[in-house]
Amino acid sequence: MKIISICIITKNEEKNLEECLRHLAKLNYEIIVVDTGSIDNSIAIAKKYTKQVYFFEWCDDFSAARNFSISRASGDIIVVIDSDEFIVEFDKEVVEKIFEQNEIVIGRINRKEKFGVEGEFEAVNQINRVFSKKYYHYAGRIHEQVVSIKNETSKSAIDYETVNLPITVLHNGYSGEGLRLLKAERNIKLLMKELEISEDPYILYQLGKSYYMILDYFKACEYFSKGLKFDINPELEYVIDMVETYGYSLVNTKQYETALLLENIYDQFGNTADFQFLMGLIYMNNEMFEKAIEEFEKATRCKQSRVIGVNTYLAWYNIGVILECLGYKEKAIAYYEKCCDYEKAKERLVILS
């Protein structure tokens, strides 16, 4: 069996690090913790769970810190976890078997995180986090990405494929207004430095996401709009997310008519529950109720969604709201009842009963 090492970089994460490491310790893998300048109790917490605690002088470069942590690992296969992520699923047998059979693949994990004004929405994203250090490392000052190490003789990157792994983490990094603001300010500063080097659509996307996370939707719209002016592949996950988050930013800033322009790209993006739900929301806010109901119903016919609930209770709830506003009380009640334990639907049922 190939040795697996878990690599973490951290700074002032005492509120999260204990729980993160407590879950990881159950896996019985080597754990590498690299601290980039904590002044809280993070280092003492790390030493409770591993002897492999190292220090790295912060240089405004996440990839440099990541790659340093990887260099200290004795394992061939690296699992990268953030100190504000908590393992909720990790099928060791399946993961180990996959990398025994093919060490060139890059493993993708599921990351759940809440967003919205009160964290009322929960999304699941798949991100590249498990790979062989012989073939891959990190690149990018911030929102670093796994890239192949160029072959010293051919100077070319190797071809690879990704595989979805039975690993799920809960991301707690943006809980709490103060922490969310601090992290966003740090990220925006680093992203602006990257933007000075090159006006890359991915950097513009990440700037938009950073402003979105701190609820500055006007700024988010500005950077998403710039990013979407580039000729970019609509099948890339970050492009899909940029389109959808741009739509929500327009709705949150009440730019409802501008949001209708997303109709023009329906053929490219309209095959998912997430985009269909978004269009339903846009039609709803433009008082195009028949179209809104049609899109919400369409979303419920999709088996999967990135944002939890847009293909079930969130769509049914919005249909109920429309029907209630139009005076169809009994029909509205029927849709609210489909929402089961969704609190907002339960509140409407109490009022209507």
Same domain? 154 vs 187:
no
Mean pLDDT, range 158-187, rounded to an integer: 80
**Rounded mean pLDDT of 169-180?**
71
Question: Does 117 lie in the same domain as 17?
Answer: yes
Nearest C-alpha neighbor of 317 from the set 297, 289, 345: 345
Helix (H) or strand (E) holding 16: helix 14-25
Average pLDDT on 218-247 reads: 95
| Half-sphere exposure in the Cβ direction for 309 (13 Å, CA) | 17
Mean pLDDT of the chain: 92
pLDDT value at 1 more than 70: no
Asked if 146 and 136 touch (Cβ cutoff 8 Å), the reply is yes
Query: CA 353 to CA 351: how far, in whole Å?
Result: 6
One domain, residues 105 and 197: no
Clarify whether residues 96 and 167 are in a common domain.
yes
Average pLDDT on 232-237 reads 91
Higher pLDDT, 177 or 47: 47
The whole model's pTM is what?
0.86
Query: Is residue 119 pLDDT above 70, yes or no?
Result: no
Write down which residue in 143, 171, 199 finishes a domain. 171
**Percent of the chain whose predicted confidence (pLDDT) is above 70:** 94
Same domain, 304 and 333: yes
Same domain assignment for residues 181 and 329:
yes
Same domain, 240 and 105: no
- 243-274 pLDDT, tens per residue? 999 999 999 999 999 999 999 999 999 999 99
Same domain for 133 and 214, yes or no, is no
CB count within 10 Å of CB 330 equals 8
Q: Are residues 187 and 303 in the same domain?
A: yes
Predicted confidence (pLDDT) per residue in 78-95, tens digit? 999 999 999 999 999 999
**Do 228 and 307 fall into the same domain?**
yes
Q: In this structure, are 105 and 189 located in the same domain? A: no
pLDDT, residue 117, reads: 58
Q: Per residue in 64-80, pLDDT tens?
A: 999 999 999 999 999 99
CATH number, residue 55: 3.90.550.10
pLDDT in tens, 31-49: 999 999 999 999 999 999 9
pLDDT at 99 exceeding the cut of 60? yes
Give yes or no for a contact between 126 and 163, defined as CB atoms under 8 angstroms apart: no
Residue 54 sits in the same domain as residue 161: yes
Domain total in the chain: 2
Which of 120, 142, 171 lies at the terminal end of a domain, its last residue?
Answer: 171
The model's pLDDT over 294-323, given as tens digits with 9 standing for 90+, comes to 999 999 999 999 999 999 999 999 999 999
Last residue of a domain, one of 171, 193, 221: 171
Euclidean distance between CA atoms 54 and 269, whole angstroms: 44
Look at strands 4-10 and 30-35 and give their pairing.
parallel
Full domain range(s) for residue 56: 4-171
The CATH number for 335's domain is 1.25.40.10
